[in-house]
Chains A and B, each alone.
Chain A
């Protein structure tokens, strides 16, 4: 499944970068993530509970940040296992300053599913991915707003 999109967030690239590299923030804004722990440098252990179409499951696995270029780009490698199938994703993230207080975050990559997840949810998968992405950016914005208020 192709994953593509971009979103403009109301903060500087530096600020967005810091938030993206902070596991606590990421855990908070990523839909379904219940736990995200830094295991070693740039490697996170992740536990997520996600409902995708007709199936839902608890996912455990790793997320790895590769080739980080501060405030510019990184690649996210995710491998999650569950009883209903496994997901691997390879996503390239780009940050681009639109203005001093606005950053365009774009992503492009692919996700592969296996098992029950592939067999029964495929038809609705891209719809689910779009919803989850939207939710992620919405949460991100909310989190930014909350930080500004504090």
Chain B
């Protein structure tokens, strides 16, 4: 192994095609004889379909076929994670049909699909379909949907409750700790619903080949193999070996492209029906209505402290909105990806989460960058900062006092939390201390006191986070209800000339795998990066895979590749020993050469590769070839952590909030490419700050999305953000071969509460002692918080 590339900011090899507009996305693919689908969607959040008349549409020129729920409504997409009620009953799992035939349950619910010669003809025909709806009352707020008399989303799900759930210490013990607390900080808040807004809208092409009786699905997805597995085994019942799923270049996912969407199965079915390829690409407007949303929690949380400022208990009641149907991981996000993170970085001895997951007449909710972990961090960090204000102590000091002491997970054991997880390694004090140093904390408090006398007040907000990444150890998640193991597959094929093709089940949609993975392979084999090609996203070339989400690609996918590399080197040593006439134990592999230890006798990696494929001088007990595939199943999650600090300036006259500074000190374990990690952190920070100040899906009383366009939904822009001040600490992951923890979600997890805390700090500094400003903290909301009650 050499160290030429690992740890270096190598420029991303994939960017040449992306920044020159040559990326090949699903919508760029045009197949011979291709047709175009348009999906007619419900304009109502809740309505009974009395009748559908598509006779006029069917007769229109260019229309190839029209499908409705009558034809395909018996097919439905599944949920990938089973969670049980507190009493052990299995969660309510109503069907999620490809097209509805009886009742629409959210704005954008799919009612009919028109396939025509062009997209425009399909849309025109869809508009000629006459549907008679009986509009029914709708409910969008999860905390109100459980009340008696609320409209039911599914007639057979009482009170709209999918399941209730709890985690932590016994409730009575937590109640007792809270009752004995010297101070209890309580907070009611909404972690609002977000629209994922990937730059590339979802796009799918179904192609049925009647010569080979084979289906191909091109799909803008984060995990092609999982889509193939779900579509074949649980939706359409197609033979998996006759189905190829390709996820070509994909323009962003943020979680929203993990799931198996109904349209993937629809274009596949339609293609078989008409014998021609069928393409469907959503509009931005459809993306707002149908790409799974994120967050949407309504929470009451309490944190108790003793008279020394030590946290003694944490008690939470949350209603999580699942939307109208269960998305693939919808049930796991508010439970196993959220409740298990409530220890945070603190030694909190007693924790209890009471969670109710609820159906409403809204778009399905699922993982969105961070998935459950941002909600946990938000809750903890808001409570700690607010408690510091209420108790008149310093928020940084309060954290340092309650942090778990450092442990490396090698000479010291991992940290067992009260909420199931065991942290692998951590050093929490030092990230906060480094953040304070970068902030110039003492100086800031002086500036703040000065500013309090002016019209532009200042505030500082802290947030320290931990996340569970590298999803996920199969045995652990299997016992928690995951319906699949979450290992990864990595194949390394050495070509006869020594060039390398790497096949990975991880899928890149912005993460830079083609660069990072190549850096690892090139260094391990001591060869140039150009000799390595990273192949992903095609179920016909990549043996298997579980895809990319939960900051898992390098920790799990990278580790699978490393396992295969080890096998390559081990076999290479045997070939070298045979050619150099020594024992394999005497061969060492370094800087791309197999050398007899203590001699200058060596063979290059290329020599060994050629020998493996042109085996004229070859050991008899070895098979020819140099090609290994490995499954890597992690033994634990990985636990990145960090400290984020926001400094905000609020205009007292307008309530306009500007993020003046943003400091992030993250520990994501070992870093392969610092520039890519910085880029990931930057993107995450923008999204997290976006939630705090700008973003949020709004519904009216009838369940209509009232800001479903870029004219109305505010995205963070470059000029809304300061120049980020980043630093890093490295505590290697003790249980994977690369020592990496994952960086994709970190920025999004830590940043949101830092900004909200900063606003609250600024308001308190000016004498406005409010507990919360609801997100997004628009100028209007901040201004109102400064007016006399």
Binding site for B on A (CB under 8 A): 54, 83, 85-86, 112-116, 118-120, 122-123
| Shortest CB distance A125–B (Å) | 9
Binding site for A on B (CB under 8 A): 43-44, 107, 127, 285, 288-289, 700, 702, 704-709, 711-712
| Shortest CB distance B376–A (Å) | 31
Contact A119 B702 (CB under 8 A): no
| Shortest CB distance B178–A (Å) | 42
A122, B706: Cα distance in complex, Å? 6
A119, B712: Cα distance in complex, Å? 8
| Shortest CB distance B706–A (Å) | 4
| Shortest CB distance A54–B (Å) | 6
> Quick one: which of B43, B707, B709 contacts A115, CB cutoff 8 A?
B43
Contact A120 B709 (CB under 8 A): yes
Contact B107 A114 (CB under 8 A): yes
| Shortest CB distance B139–A (Å) | 15
| Shortest CB distance A40–B (Å) | 20
The closest CB in chain A to the CB of B713 belongs to A119
Which A residues are in CB contact (< 8 Å) with B127?
83
A118, B708: Cα distance in complex, Å? 8
Contact B707 A123 (CB under 8 A): yes
Which A residues are in CB contact (< 8 Å) with B700?
112, 118, 122
Which A residues are in CB contact (< 8 Å) with B707?
119, 122-123
> Quick one: which of A54, A114, A119 contacts B44, CB cutoff 8 A?
A114
| Shortest CB distance B759–A (Å) | 24
Which A residues are in CB contact (< 8 Å) with B706?
118-119, 122-123
A62, B707: Cα distance in complex, Å? 28
**Assuming the A-B contacts A118-B704, A120-B711, are A85 and B43 also in contact, with contact meaning beta carbons closer than 8 angstroms in the complex?**
yes
Contact A114 B712 (CB under 8 A): no
The closest CB in chain B to the CB of A115 belongs to B43
Contact B712 A122 (CB under 8 A): yes
Which B residues are in CB contact (< 8 Å) with A116?
285
A119, B708: Cα distance in complex, Å? 4
The closest CB in chain A to the CB of B128 belongs to A83
A112, B107: Cα distance in complex, Å? 14
Contact A114 B285 (CB under 8 A): no
Contact B712 A86 (CB under 8 A): no
Contact A86 B43 (CB under 8 A): yes
A-B contact pairs, 20 of them (CB 8 A): A54-B711, A112-B702, A114-B43, A114-B704, A115-B43, A115-B107, A116-B285, A118-B700, A118-B705, A118-B706, A119-B107, A119-B289, A119-B705, A120-B709, A120-B712, A122-B704, A122-B706, A122-B712, A123-B707, A123-B711
Contact A113 B711 (CB under 8 A): no
| Shortest CB distance B451–A (Å) | 33
Which B residues are in CB contact (< 8 Å) with A122?
700, 704, 706-707, 712
Task: List the 6 closest pairs (A to B, CB-CB), nearest first.
Answer: A119-B708, A118-B704, A115-B43, A122-B706, A114-B43, A120-B709
Which A residues are in CB contact (< 8 Å) with B285?
116, 119-120
A6, B531: Cα distance in complex, Å? 78
Which B residues are in CB contact (< 8 Å) with A85?
43
A54, B712: Cα distance in complex, Å? 11
The closest CB in chain B to the CB of A110 belongs to B701
Which A residues are in CB contact (< 8 Å) with B711?
54, 120, 123
Contact A114 B709 (CB under 8 A): no
Which A residues are in CB contact (< 8 Å) with B712?
119-120, 122-123
A114, B711: Cα distance in complex, Å? 17
A86, B711: Cα distance in complex, Å? 20
A83, B700: Cα distance in complex, Å? 20
A142, B323: Cα distance in complex, Å? 51
Which B residues are in CB contact (< 8 Å) with A123?
706-707, 711-712
Which A residues are in CB contact (< 8 Å) with B288?
119
A123, B709: Cα distance in complex, Å? 11
The closest CB in chain B to the CB of A123 belongs to B712
A54, B702: Cα distance in complex, Å? 22
A122, B43: Cα distance in complex, Å? 15
A113, B704: Cα distance in complex, Å? 8
Which B residues are in CB contact (< 8 Å) with A86?
43
Which A residues are in CB contact (< 8 Å) with B704?
112-115, 118-119, 122
| Shortest CB distance B68–A (Å) | 19
